[in-house]
Chain A
Amino acid sequence: MMTATVSRWARVRDSFLWYSFKRDKVAIASFIVLLAMVLSAIFAPLLAPTDPYDLALIDIMNSELPPVGMSGADGAFPLGTDAQGRDMLSTILYGTRVSLMIGFGAVILQAALGIMFGLLAGYLGGRVDAILMRIADVQLSFSTLMVAIIVGAVFKASFGSLMFGEIAIYMLIFIIGVAEWPQIARTVRASVLAEKKKEYVDAAKVMGFRTNRIMFRHILPNTLSPIFVIGTVQIANAIISEAALSFLGLGMPETQPSLGSLIKSGFDYIQSGSWWITLLPGLVLVVLVLVINLLGDWLRDVMNPRLYKG
């Protein structure tokens, strides 16, 4: 067992991925920031000074206090409070948690759909390919955000606001996952088309393996690196889509806020001068999306075989 882990570590240490990561300062910095944000989101219940979901802890008298460093600030609330008197630091930590959960969940769902449809379209070809890719084309031409807004609107109208609020987190994962699957399906299809011409696929066919086995056990592992690249960027896209939907009131309710609904609830108070309620979660959102995009750029440069100069 011990030797296995050591050799695995050695494989990582000697890989091209690790080598180029060590030499890229932007990638290292982005990774550290992302790791810090993910960890603080996971451990939000331990790190946050107060529990923003606990109504008993909220005092309306503390509402709209500015962050420390401005006049009228309270040391107990380092980033100030929102209009309901909730501690901004705690709501942002919990909000990042919700945003990340939806981002990862939506990408897992769209990866599942995208890989399945992409493999089927690429490997089977013919009519299956034509129909699936036509659907993907049409859906993409409508822009994923538009599809997500319309599906969200229909769900909200049919479930009612209250019911929708309770299951919003699953709804958002579903909406964004379904709206964005064509992106991954196209990538998978393109690499499957390149892979299926290779000898190992012919060999597997000759050996009499079933189509399913060839698709998932033989071809899929060889198409993973473009999936990783696009998956990374898609997490950032999903987080932005979630924020946009929540900002429009089609997402997380204010009682269980994500970064998007925090921005939305703060926006009503920006005219009265309380900029921190909306701009602090906004800043966190931008930093989160930016570091994921930068990591995605780096991954694409590293894994793109056309740029790979060995």
Chain B
Amino acid sequence: MLAFLVQRISQAFLVMFVISMIAFAIQDGLGDPLQELVGMSVSLEERDAIREDMGLNDPIYVQYARFAGNALQGDLGISYFYGKPTLQVIAEHLPATLELVIGASLIILVFSVPIGVYAAIRPQAFLSKFFMSISTVGISIPVFLTAIVLIQLFSIGVTIELFPTETGWGTWLNGALSTDGGLPSYGRGDELTHLFGTWTSGFFSWDGLWHLVLPCVSLASIMLPLFIRLIRAEMMEVLQSDYIRYARAKGLSSGRINFLHALKNTMLPVITVGGVQLGIMVAYTILTETVFQWPGMGLMFLEAITRSDIPLIVAYLMVVGLVFVITNTIVDLIYGLVNPTVKLTGKKA
């Protein structure tokens, strides 16, 4: 176990080292810090002096060592646009993204478990087949398109005038197929609750919650089909196992078997895969935040690209890289802990 632990953690450090090298290469290759610093009127000699002073003429490994040393002390440079330390800018945008991810995860949890379990217990039922085909279609719809359709349906509203209004049925059908809209489709709203420092949350006011609905549903929509399929597959496998058959033979109620005995063993792989997926969600927040103008890290990153705000791009890369590495390492370790059949290094099985 110790060997496994050491191997995983050293791998995490190695990955972080590679990410920092890539980040450094981007910073070094793109843009000239001197250009940002001095105006046109500064002479060539003065430029050279500043260049020497800033250490830009040092060998590349010395520059990298300085970059990495600063990064370890939490200094990733100053954003050109905001004029503040990049980590501070990211910290200000982090709560919005975190809120989005938490909201989406809640939606996924509430819907995927019952649907997945039901589809596993009754694979032939009409409702199961219906949910499975919906999830196939769901996987084929890109997250930004779901978001746009949701905005059209529930924010702008749709008026259907397809059916003749002479009959009562036509009017009713038109009304039933039309939607009112009215849900907010951009930003986080005005009524944010201050938690501490720069952290604000929309979870505690109706206005904030209203603003969360569409972005969270969009973000959840891309992961939901995946989780339903995963839970269904795992559950079906567990239901085939001997201990479930034994519990049946013992005469336990099917509710007890399904939800106590089987579900417990189903959730284990689901939680570990879920941890990895949570990291992948960061990529999708970029898309969701763009559609809804959600002031989180993803939108900040995209704006940094259009503004060529190199320090902020580099800092985002480092922070997101760190988030990914930490989640993956923790998930790996948990998986190794709870599932001893995973091949641990240094031991022959």
Contacts and interface: CB of A to CB of B under 8 A. Distances in A.
Given A154-B26, A248-B290, A278-B148, 15 more contacts: A134-B11, A143-B282, A145-B283, A145-B284, A154-B313, A240-B142, A247-B142, A247-B144, A249-B302, A249-B306, A275-B156, A286-B137, A286-B140, A290-B140, A294-B136
A166 B317 CA distance: 26
Nearest to A143: B280
A150 B145 contact: no
Interface in B312-333: 313, 317, 320-321, 324, 328
30 contacts: A141-B276, A141-B324, A141-B328, A143-B280, A146-B282, A146-B283, A149-B283, A149-B286, A150-B317, A153-B313, A156-B305, A157-B30, A158-B29, A158-B30, A247-B290, A248-B286, A249-B306, A267-B148, A270-B152, A271-B156, A273-B156, A275-B152, A278-B148, A285-B142, A285-B145, A289-B142, A290-B136, A290-B140, A293-B136, A293-B139
A263 interface: yes
Contacts of B142: 240, 243-244, 247, 285, 289
Contact of A282 (B29, B149, B283, B291): B149
A73 interface: no
A145 B144 CA distance: 13
B137 A290 contact: yes
Interface in A279-310: 279, 282, 285-286, 289-290, 293-294, 297
A275 B159 CA distance: 12
A198 to B, nearest CB: 24
A69 to B, nearest CB: 10
A171 interface: no
Interface string B295-318: 000000110011010100100010
Contact of B148 (A153, A154, A270): A270
B220 interface: no
Interface in A101-156: 134, 138, 141-143, 145-146, 149-150, 153-154, 156
For the complex of A and B, the 10 pairs showing the least CB-CB separation, nearest first, are A146-B283, A143-B280, A290-B140, A145-B283, A289-B140, A153-B305, A282-B145, A141-B328, A143-B283, A247-B144
B15 A138 contact: yes
Contact of B279 (A143, A282, A289): A143
A256 B148 CA distance: 22
Contacts, number: 95
Contact of A154 (B30, B149, B306): B30
Nearest to B152: A275
Interface residues of A, number: 38
Q: Dominant SS at the B interface?
A: helix
Interface in B257-282: 276, 279-280, 282
Contact of B305 (A142, A157, A294): A157
B287 interface: yes
Interface string B18-41: 100000001001100000000000
A89 B55 CA distance: 57
A267 B152 CA distance: 10
A172 interface: no
A263 to B, nearest CB: 7
B151 interface: yes
A141 B19 CA distance: 13
Contacts of B286: 149, 248
B141 interface: yes
Interface string A227-259: 000000000100010011001111000000000
B185 to A, nearest CB: 8
